[in-house]
Amino acid sequence: MRLSDTVLFAFRALSSKRLRATLTIVGILIGPAIIVGLIGMTQGFSATLTHELFSSLSPTDIFVTRGRGGVNITSYTVQEIESLPGVKAVVPYYTFSATIQTPSGSEPTEILAIDMSKASEVYPGLTLEAGQFPSSSSTFGAVVGYYIANPQFPGQPTYHVGQTITVVMNTPQGKITKSFLITGSFNEFSSAFADIDQAIVVQSIVGQQYYGDRYSGLIVEASSVSQVNSVVNEIHSKLGNSVGVIAAEQFDTLINSSLSSVSSLLLIAGASAFIVAFVGILSTMFTTVVERTREIGVLRAIGFTRRGIMVIFISESILMGFLGGLAGIAAGVGMGYMLTSLTGGSIFGGRIGAGRGPVGLGGTTHITPVFEPTFMAEVLLITIVFGLLAGIIPAYRASRIEPAVALRYEV
């Protein structure tokens, strides 16, 4: 019997019991749907975060902050790191919390004091929407973040180039009220590392006025991506635990490793659904063998071998696995898009409070599920294999029925 004839025979057998076959296929598709849908959403989450991370930052960026001992980061620390091999540039910065004084009340923000001529090097995605940077010696010029210039909620004041913005800053000398002239505004800067969208950026001389030689942190730029790890190790070796060090690449690795753990848990959950599908196919095939005992006797009487009988029933179970797998993959794709739409398709959505300097969370990041063809093919193959395994025992039992006994069998 040709393969095409066997498949056609199996398809007609399933069509004769449409309700039972349909219910079995529905039970089969649950596993693939869960795995494809949730893994697709997780991979979309990972891909989106990675894209957002490196579209706004440079992969050679390394962030240095105060360590466990609370030792201050000073110009001496800057000189120590600048002397290390593989270091291209070191950009110190100050951050301190503040509130914007508006007619309707106070709005929280963050002051970031940094050398703006170097900021675009370590933040490639940071660009001006309007205006220009203040001069390096300016203590009153400022560039405001996107959400300060373009508020998200009704009733919030809008600040444009040429206006003044009054803030109350929390400094070592206490709360200080100061007005800045807005010389520019940034484009939206959504990043898992930076909350500049809701910050006021000033020249580093402003931070020096209040903090002197005590920086909040440093942004170190390695000469190349290949030297990032060696620079991180050199900083640890030189400064020990007096500083905390994290590279943008390490953050990406952390994201992917964390999401890999989540993916593993989801695969386990999906595997349990495959077991249920296996039992469903097994039960259906045993019932089918019993109901078609007389048919088996007829087939044997007209010349079908035991092997031929096994092939027919195994083909039916494989076909159910194949159809259930296809339906499950289609349902999983739909589930992935549905889950992202239910969450608004975004993470870090909306406006959140000011972060902790250039290593905060901010902006709106939209998620699109990612469905890899190779992974979906693997899921389909696994479903077919489960169908094959579930059909072996019933098919073997069918092949062992003697023709004389089968022809006398009454359902």
Q: What is the pTM of this model?
A: 0.62
DSSP SS3 for 172:
coil
φ and ψ at residue 196, rounded to 5 degrees: -75, -20
DSSP SS3 for 282:
helix
Contact indicator for 251, 116 with CB cutoff of 8 Å: no
Map out the domains of the chain as residue ranges: 3-55+252-407, 60-247
Provide the pLDDT for residue 188.
Answer: 84
Q: How far apart are CA 159 and CA 144, in angstroms?
A: 8
pLDDT tens, N- to C-terminus, the chain (411 residues): 566 667 777 777 777 778 888 888 888 888 889 888 888 888 887 777 776 666 667 788 888 888 776 678 898 999 999 999 999 989 999 999 999 988 778 888 999 999 988 887 778 778 889 999 999 899 999 999 888 988 877 777 888 899 999 999 999 889 999 999 999 999 887 665 567 888 999 999 999 999 988 999 999 989 888 888 899 899 888 888 788 888 877 766 777 777 777 777 777 777 777 888 888 888 888 888 888 788 778 877 887 788 888 888 888 888 888 999 999 999 999 988 888 777 655 544 433 333 333 434 444 556 788 898 998 999 999 999 988 998 898 888 888 887 777 666 655
Q: How far apart are CA 7 and CA 317, in angstroms?
A: 11
Provide the pLDDT for residue 360.
Answer: 43
Q: What is the largest CA-CA distance in the chain?
A: 103
Q: Percentages helix, strand, coil for the chain, rounded to the nearest 5?
A: 55, 20, 25
Q: Give me the count of residues in the chain.
A: 411
Angle (CA) 28-299-317 rounded to 5° is 10
What's the gap between Cα 346 and its chain centre? 11
